[in-house]
Amino acid sequence: MIGIRDLLLLLLTVVTACGGEPIASTGGELALADVLAAGDVAGYDRATSVPTLTFPRDHGPHDSFRTEWWYWTGNVTDEGGRAFGFELVFFRQALAPPDGEAPRSASLASRELVLVHAAVTDVGGERFHAEERLLRRDSLRAGVVLGEHGPVLWCADWRAEPSGAAPSPDRFPPMRLTARGEGFAFDLVVEAQKALVLQGDRGLSQKSSEPGNASIYYSATRLSAVGTIEVDGRAAGVTGAAWCDREWSTSALGEGQVGWDWFSLQFDDGCELTWYQLRRRDGSIDAHSQGTWTRADGTSARLALADVMAEPQGTWRATDGRAEYPGAWRLRSKKLGLDVEVVPRVADQELRTRVRYWEGCVAVRGSCSGVGYLEMTGYAK
Amino acid sequence: MTGLLLRWSARHHGRQPLRSALAVLGIAVGIALLVAVQATMASASAAFAAASEALTGRATHAVRGEQGFVPVRVLAALATERGVVAAPVVEALVQPSTSYRRTVRVLGIDPLVDGLVRPGTGAIAGLSLAGLLTTRGGFVATRATCARLALDDSGATTLFAGGRAVGAQRLLAIPDDAVAGLLDVLLVDIATAQEWNGREDRVDRIDLVLDDGVDVQALSARLQALEPSIRVEANAARASFHELTAAFTSNLQAMGLLALLVGAFLVHAAMRAAVAGRQVEFALLRALGADAFRIGRAVARESVLLGLLGSGVGLVCGWIAAQLLIDPLVRTLNDHFATFALHSVRLDAWLAVTAMVLGPMTAVLASLWPLAEAMQAPPRAVFVSGRLPQRSLQAPLWLLLPLAIGSWILLQNAGRNVVMAHGGMLLALVAIALVVPRAMELLLAGTARVVANAGPWLAYVARSAASSRLRVGSSVSALVLAVGITTGMGAMVQSFRSSVANWLDEVIPADVYVALPGSVDEREHGELSADALSALRALPGLAAVSTYRPMRVAASFHGGPFEETSITVFGPSPRVLERLPLIDGGDAARAAFQQGNGAIATEPLAARLSLTIGSPIAVACGEGVRRTTIVGIERHYRNPRGELLLPTSWFPKLQPESLGLEAMSGESQDALAERVRTVVHALPQALIVSTRESVERTSLKVFDRTFAITDALRLLCILIAVLGIWSSFAALQLDRQKEIAVLRTLGATPRHVVLLVLGQTTLLGVWAGFLALPVGAFVGYVLATVVNRGSFGWTLTEFTLPPALLWEAIWLAVGSAFLAGLWPAWRMARAVPAVALREE
């Protein structure tokens, strides 16, 4: 999965690496090209070849790469059928490559940041709450480490940690996700229902033609989710389906890419679709846009740009008028025999955090039905 | 008639531009003073507030440790608390390799969260976030600080932190006025500060911004369960900061008010001169049928115009004067309260409008009285004598009694209320100003009688001075007040200085002192190394050692809430203990303190918190909270907020920050100092060695710097008085052109005229000087005994009025008056008698 993660973190790098320049000078909308130009990749490892992944080791952090994330989204309902969406994402971002010197003695020394976004959508109440946390990775207030069974991630009071061991190495370990923000909270256990799916070429996800502009990328496309969600003080026991993406890279984006639309859809027949398309400045879709079709039995197939056509349907304008997103999407694929409409379950699921983007739960209707998550970036004016 | 009056006004001022200019000058001087003081104080106060905001920010609470640090696991625990913003702070001191004595304060913060507590500092840190986090020794500092560190182009340098050399790298040089409170501060990431400070797993404190709903008690309990030595305190620093500034500001404003009083008299004098010189014209207009209202309106119109002009000039001059006042003011504030920078004074619109309204208003008010007098006098009487009947010009002496009573009541009941103290003094000064013309009248009449037989010229000088007394009454009052206030301020400063000198004598009984470099506030963050301590204690020829460790802890008084309190953990030698200047408690206090059975409060703290012997206190120290009582009150002039002296036995793990070393009898102080220097030189830790004399000298130097602002105000007061008296005398002499011309036609030479004018003004000056003496004594006494105690809780052990100061007062008055007479004398002597007679 490529998406807001790169923009967020590259943006963060630009803002923080600019040294003598005031923050204000980086204000306003940043062109993607500027973001990419600023990234200095020297000193980091790059994703240049098909990885050999070993689990649970690779569920933990990869400190030699600059950027990494653990990304959970899901659609759940309570006993009364009330639907909710949730998102919890932990980013690890290095500000400088390891300098080769002796480790620093200070307990608060760190050259990495942990940025976390959490959001809850109350579909029936048409409410959407989102917050972020940003701290240094000092392993006191915020950290990403490999625990006995899997990744242990925390930032202030938000946490994601294994609630047990994975039943087999090819499955993501069961995780407990907890977060509490202004007007929302969740405490969920997500457990893998399928084997991990390696995205791209056996886990190497090429994002542009330049060697190394790629990430290591795998997903747990179907997890069960059980727990509680609280919105505006009302808690509800919920169950449903969730999704987890794991990705790490040092540089991933190509020049001229201005935004992207990313779909993670779970169909009622047990299949899943990962699809992202990178939009170029000239309005065209980048050739490196791609996806994966995961069948009910857990087998999967790569999808190339020509395999899926995604068309925006209508528009949704942010309340302050500063961003305009597609209102819905139509996804068609002859190869998959797919023709579906992807409709946001609540129109306003825009995260107005450090970087503005839209990410929210969606309903899928058409040749197949289901639910999923959609992320749209690069639409802010 | 209105047209006629307008033309009359215009012609009057056109014919006598100089006199009009003098009236304008009088107003300008008064307004300039107001603007200078108000603008300086407003700018200083804004800079203060900004500095305060920069340092304490929005923090509502702070987590502090009893040993002066907080383990980082407390920070981790706070991160999971709801409604809590927790910003860790580590402060350190470093020395540039280029300067042994100079230290630079290091402020270590977490740039990612600090903006939520200290927006200014957070924003500055955010400019170089990645650099701060990832560069070892990376810092952000003002350009001035970078220049002081003598950095080369690379920005890399070596600093000494706790005696160790550490590499430092400039990441960003910000403009000097970017954020108040960052003057002489290296802003670094918290991890860098931890490393420089040698506190790798601790922070000094954690500033908190707590949401309203957070239960502080419960939070404190949760954290204490984790780490018993820490405490959550309400942020007292902010309140105390305002409290501090309030006392200081009200003092300065009062001084400004006193100066304004002088100015008001000058405006009055100027307008009175402008109106009084036209009595014959008023009489003529009234004889022609103009009623009092119309004349009044015409004069009021003139006054408004003169007032506006004077205000404009005053505004500009005041602004310039304010620029001159800044430096001494900022120096004083930096010495005592907080480090902040202020480079220029801003004139806010409100002050400008006030000045522009106040000038014309004062001018109109000041012209009303002389005008009313002119209107009351029968025109015929004025025609005949050419002036008003004497009786009508008397000051309203009946006001004296209520003023005196009011002043007495206010001064008696002022206590710690500075405003009341100043109010009482102000009322007394107004009463004095009213009585001065009458006193002057008596003195001059007496002089005239005494010198009546001493030759015609001397007699004439005395008589003409006596006859002019009413015309210059207000200016002379202003001169008396200005000189009196100046003398009073001088007396207060002198008394204060000798009290401090006596006190220093008492509290510096040791021969040699060894301390960490930096100011006392800065030294709170450091301690002597174990090597230094053992090497110094082992010195030969050493009789006794006293130890000092200034720091801040949480303390509660009278069972109230815990608040941050300055303390000195004090391990006195028998001699030092014996000479401790106790106001209350005596030997019992000394014994109790030595046995660790109580605390000693300094006088300002005792005054601020109403502490007496036996007052219950609770102090969070190394072994938990210790509940005890105050056993003694110490006279203490250093810290205006006051502090507690606590026995070393309460802080067994704490190392001292400075030592007082006493030489064995027969051992010379210099020899001991030399040996100490040799030992210290060999230590890796940078330490300052001072002898008793040098400590005393340095302390008094700081004291003198503190009163630099007072000196500046004194100077301003005198300058204004000289200008005012000059304008008043010039106006007086210009009014006497006819008289002088007549004298000239009778055979007086220009030399005679010069002697006459200078003799007259000097005589007025001499008596003004003498009248200023009691005024000075009164002002000095009130400042020293009522205001100082009210503002800072300091009782001065001495009130001195040195003869030199009294002579200075007389010379000031005489000199001012003499100088003020020079120009009119020169002009009068040059005037052609025939022309003067014709013009009149």
Give residue-wise pLDDT tens across range B735-754. 777 778 888 888 878 888 88
Closest chain B CA to residue A23: B127
Q: What is the mean pLDDT of residues B403-414?
A: 86
Total domain count for chain A? 1
pLDDT at A76: 97
pLDDT-wise least confident of A15-24, B58-67, B463-472: A15-24
Cα B50 from Cα B5, distance rounded (Å): 54
Residue ranges of chain A whose pLDDT lies below 70: 1-39, 252-253
**C-alpha dist (Å) from residue B575 to B378, B543, B578, B655:** 81, 10, 5, 21
**Contact status of A38 with chain B (Cβ, < 8 Å):** no
In this predicted complex, what is the ipTM?
0.87
Which of A108, A155, A158 should we substitute to test contact with B (largest number of B Cβ atoms within 10 Å)? A108
Residue that is written with structure tokens 């009196």 in the block: B484
Q: Which of A96, A109, A180 sits opposite B130 (nearest CB)?
A: A96
Instruction: Give the whole-number percent of chain B exceeding pLDDT 70.
Output: 78
Identity at B478, one-letter amino acid code: A
Strand ranges, E, within A95-183: 112-122, 127-136, 142-146, 151-155, 158-162, 175-181
**Within a 10 A sphere around the Cβ of B534, how many other Cβ atoms?**
10
**Within a 10 A sphere around the Cβ of B27, how many other Cβ atoms?**
32
Of B519, B505, B621, B624, residue with least CA distance to B570: B621
Per-residue pLDDT band for B623 (boundaries 50, 70, 90) equals low
Q: Which of A217-221, B145-149, B603-607 has the highest mean pLDDT?
A: A217-221
Per-residue pLDDT band for B382 (boundaries 50, 70, 90) equals low
**Which residues in chain B touch residue A23, judged by CB atoms under 8 angstroms apart?**
123, 126-127
**Contact status of B131 with chain A (Cβ, < 8 Å):** yes
CB B809 within 8 A of CB B487: yes
8 Å CB contact of B203 and A108: yes
Q: How buried is residue B429: exposed, middle or buried, by Cβ count under 10 Å (0-12/13-18/19+)?
A: buried
Cα B323 from Cα B122, distance rounded (Å): 30
CB B416 within 8 A of CB B246: no
**Which residues in chain B touch residue A107, judged by CB atoms under 8 angstroms apart?**
72, 191, 194, 200-201
8 Å CB contact of B127 and A23: yes
Q: Which of A19, A104, A141 sits opposite B128 (nearest CB)?
A: A19
**Chain A residues 204-263 with a CB less than 8 Å from chain B:** none
Assign residue B724 a region (left: φ > 0; alpha: ψ between -120 and 50; beta: otherwise): alpha
8 Å CB contact of A95 and B133: yes
Counted across chains A and B, CB pairs separated by less than 8 A come out at: 87
Average pLDDT taken over every residue of chain B: 78
Cα B563 from Cα B67, distance rounded (Å): 16
Cα B649 from Cα B569, distance rounded (Å): 9
Closest chain A CA to residue B124: A22
**Chain A residues 73-102 with a CB less than 8 Å from chain B:** 95-96, 99, 101
Cα B297 from Cα B660, distance rounded (Å): 74
**Which residues in chain A touch residue B76, judged by CB atoms under 8 angstroms apart?**
140-141
Closest chain A CA to residue B89: A108
Domain that holds residue A267: 4-377
Cα B492 from Cα B706, distance rounded (Å): 13
Cα A189 from Cα A239, distance rounded (Å): 10
3-state SS of B27-66 is HHHHHHHHHHHHHHHHHHHHHHHHHHHHHCCCCCEEEEEC
Backbone angles phi, psi at A149, to 5 degrees: -105, -10
3-state SS of B389-415 is CHHHHCCCHHHHHHHHHHHHHHHHHCC
User: What sign for the dihedral angle of Cα B639, B642, B647, B653?
Assistant: negative
Which of A10, A13, A16 should we substitute to test contact with B (largest number of B Cβ atoms within 10 Å)? A16
Q: What is the mean pLDDT of residues B282-301?
A: 78
8 Å CB contact of B82 and A157: yes
Q: Provide the Cα torsion B265, B271, B276, B280; round to 10°.
A: -170
Q: Tell me the CATH number at A265.
A: 2.40.370.10
**Contact status of B134 with chain A (Cβ, < 8 Å):** yes
> What are the residues whose beta carbons fall under 8 Å from the beta carbon of B602, sequence distance 6 or more?
B633, B634, B635, B636, B639, B642, B643, B644, B645
**Contact status of A16 with chain B (Cβ, < 8 Å):** yes
pLDDT at B100: 44
Cα B812 from Cα B514, distance rounded (Å): 45
**Within a 10 A sphere around the Cβ of B182, how many other Cβ atoms?**
27
CA distance A51 to chain B (A): 29
Q: What digits encode the pLDDT tens for the residues B672-719?
A: 888 888 888 777 777 778 787 777 777 777 677 666 666 766 776 677
**Contact status of B143 with chain A (Cβ, < 8 Å):** no
Centroid of chain to Cα B20: 36
Cα B307 from Cα B292, distance rounded (Å): 21
**Within a 10 A sphere around the Cβ of B837, how many other Cβ atoms?**
16
Bridge partners of A356, per DSSP, are A352
> What is the DSSP annotation of B331-399?
HHHHHHT-----------HHHHHHHHHHHHHHHHHHHHHHHHHHHHS-HHHHHHHSS--GGGG---GGG
Backbone angles phi, psi at B833, to 5 degrees: -55, -40
CB B40 within 8 A of CB B319: no
Cα A359 from Cα A259, distance rounded (Å): 13
Cα B107 from Cα B438, distance rounded (Å): 62
Per-residue pLDDT band for B392 (boundaries 50, 70, 90) equals very low
- Kindly report whether the peptide bond that precedes residue B379 is cis, defined as omega within 30 degrees of 0: no
pLDDT at B332: 63
Cα B822 from Cα B815, distance rounded (Å): 11
**Which residues in chain A touch residue B72, judged by CB atoms under 8 angstroms apart?**
107-108, 140
Q: What is the mean pLDDT of residues B331-356?
A: 68
CB B758 within 8 A of CB B825: yes
**Chain B residues 156-195 with a CB less than 8 Å from chain A:** 171-172, 190-192, 194-195
pLDDT at A27: 29
8 Å CB contact of A136 and B81: no
CA distance A16 to chain B (A): 5
pLDDT at B103: 63
Identity at B178, one-letter amino acid code: A
**Contact status of B197 with chain A (Cβ, < 8 Å):** no
Angle between helices B473-507 and B750-781 (to 10 degrees): 40
Closest chain A CA to residue B190: A108
pLDDT at A21: 29
pLDDT-wise least confident of B312-326, B375-389, B780-794: B375-389
CA distance A354 to chain B (A): 13
